[in-house]
Structure 1
Amino acid sequence: MSTVTTPANPAAEIADAMRALEARYGTPWSAPLPAWNDTLDTLLAHRSVRNYADRPLPEGTLETLIAAAQSASTSSNLQTWSVIAIENPERRARLAELAGGQSHVRAAPLFLVWLADLSRLEAAGARSGASVEGLHYMETLVVGMIDAALAAQNAVVALESLGMSAVYIGGIRNQPEQVAAELGLPPRVLPVFGLCVGYPDETRPADVKPRLPQEVVLHREQYDAPSQAAAIAQYDEVMGGFQTAQGLSAAGWTVRSLARWRSRESLHGRDRLRDALSALGFELR
């Protein structure tokens, strides 16, 4: 359990916290600071890491991460998620191709595929002769996807606190039927996303990517749309500077984000997710 302690050097701790917050937003931080701790340090330092050291994970790592994942909130304690750990290099390579040829899926020593899993409750209903009609509605799949996301993020916080790094792989939804076949999934189980896990390659470090200003995502009492345009324009400048520092074109957030949704083809196969869900046994009434 995280505790708040009196720092040996309060001024140094405040300075470290300010640097972390300014790195997260790419702009000066002016809000008051609450008490600070190692958990906040870990959360603010998060970055997506795609380059991994050739270093095995300590024994017991997987089980510890799953314990952290299972400590996340879950709707009504239904626990409508599962995860498959992939360590076999050949299977990682096949999944890398199904996810769009992402080489870091091959490079990471551990690849986790997080699942929205309604099959477990359906089987429990069959064993007990109970009706499970509610499993066939969109709401229940949404619950499973939320449960999986909450569990995975708990695992990410845990692994980062242990000096490891990760990156989420949404491309696991590019070809969900093929992924399901590769993993032997029963009906009514959806591969929601993957997660590469490993120690970061210190020779190819990743930087903290600035996020949208809080005035864009934080609304007080009611949604405030008119105030967003100016803050997003400022963020485009911040992201342009970050992209330039990364050796990328300074397109900013707006241009890159809109390009992600410019056409059906830009979804890389995920435009047919409704059909895939049907093929995987989801009725979604």
Structure 2
Amino acid sequence: MSYTIKKLLDHRSIRKFKSDPVSEEQLREILNAAQAASTSNNMQAYSIITVRDYKLKEQLAELSGNQQSIKNCPLFLVWCADLYRTNVALSEKYPHIQAAGSVEHLISSTVDTSLAAQNAVIAAESLGLGIVYIGGIRNDIDQVAKLLNLPKLVYPVFGLCIGVPNEEPVLRPRLSHQIVVHENYYNSHNYKEFIQKYDSVNKEYTKRRSNGKESGSWTSKLAEKLSRPRRENLKDGLANRGFYL
């Protein structure tokens, strides 16, 4: 097995970090790796905000659901889908052509952002650093946009905490290939059987990770998450940013 595959299979979310800083050299390598990712039509429709200022991290942590990881990590990156820069590029010679915030452009810029971020994650982990994605950055994209001075047609997709790990959590089990990978056609025939097995494995994982304090299954966690509405203001927030669904 190659070193790269080993690192990928060893991935886990890190929420506790040492105080050691992420060096400028490490950051440069991480960002170079990010920009090497695939991108739709070479639009490179994303921007990355690096945040080290503690007060700003505190504000972003509060907006993201009071997530301590943001305050405690030495480096926080906010990954933004960005069509604004595309329009700046077009404005002088092609003012009649604009990258509107259509559903297609929303999806393609979000995909561009995600591909670049995952490259950054792999690079960071190869350097011995740990990461955790922060989807809570979308809790109030209007306020995040104000804090970070984001122009129209730019929205925060997620945040990324990076730093030297100060924990070694148990590796989280994944669903079986047998219900994730489909050959030629989609086949849900054995879903219930494999989901029951995965629930059992996940209960043991949860017990171990929480030192016996919790024992929830995968489906019970899904039910908990999906039983209450989340980010109901997101559609309006995207519209305020210039993206229309």
Structure 1 position 39, deviation (Å): 0.3
- What CA distance in whole angstroms lies between the structure 1 residues aligned with 2:4 and 2:146? 38
1:93 aligns with 2:58: yes
Deviation by residue 1:160-207 (Cα, 9 ceiling, x = unmatched): 001000000000000100000000000010100000000001xx3222
- What CA distance in whole angstroms lies between the structure 2 residues aligned with 1:276 and 1:76? 26
Structure 1 position 135, deviation (Å): 2.4
- What CA distance in whole angstroms lies between the structure 2 residues aligned with 1:106 and 1:121? 32
> What's 1:256 paired with?
221
**Higher RCO (Cα < 8 Å, 6 or more apart):** 2
Q: What is the alpha-carbon root mean square deviation over aligned residues?
A: 1.2
Q: Which amino acid aligns with 2:243?
A: F
Structure 2 length normalisation: TM-score?
A: 0.96
Q: Which amino acid aligns with 2:114?
A: A
**214-223 or 57-66: which moved more?**
57-66
1:274 aligns with 2:235: yes
Q: Which amino acid aligns with 2:79?
A: W
Give the 3-state SS of the residue equivalent to 1:220 in structure 2.
coil
- What CA distance in whole angstroms lies between the structure 2 residues aligned with 1:102 and 1:136? 30
- What CA distance in whole angstroms lies between the structure 2 residues aligned with 1:84 and 1:261? 30
| Residue ranges of structure 2 left out of the alignment (5+ in a row) | none
1:244 aligns with one of 193, 207, 230? 207
Structure 1 position 64, deviation (Å): 1.1
* Larger Rg, first or second structure (1 or 2): 1
- What CA distance in whole angstroms lies between the structure 2 residues aligned with 1:277 and 1:271? 11
- What CA distance in whole angstroms lies between the structure 2 residues aligned with 1:100 and 1:52? 19
Structure 1 position 258, deviation (Å): 2.0
**Fraction of identical pairs, as percent:** 39
> What's 1:40 paired with?
5
Structure 1 position 68, deviation (Å): 0.2
| Residue ranges of structure 1 left out of the alignment (5+ in a row) | 1-35
Structure 1 length normalisation: TM-score?
A: 0.83
Map 1:16-55 onto structure 2 (within 5 A).
Answer: 36-55=1-20
Structure 1 position 131, deviation (Å): 3.0
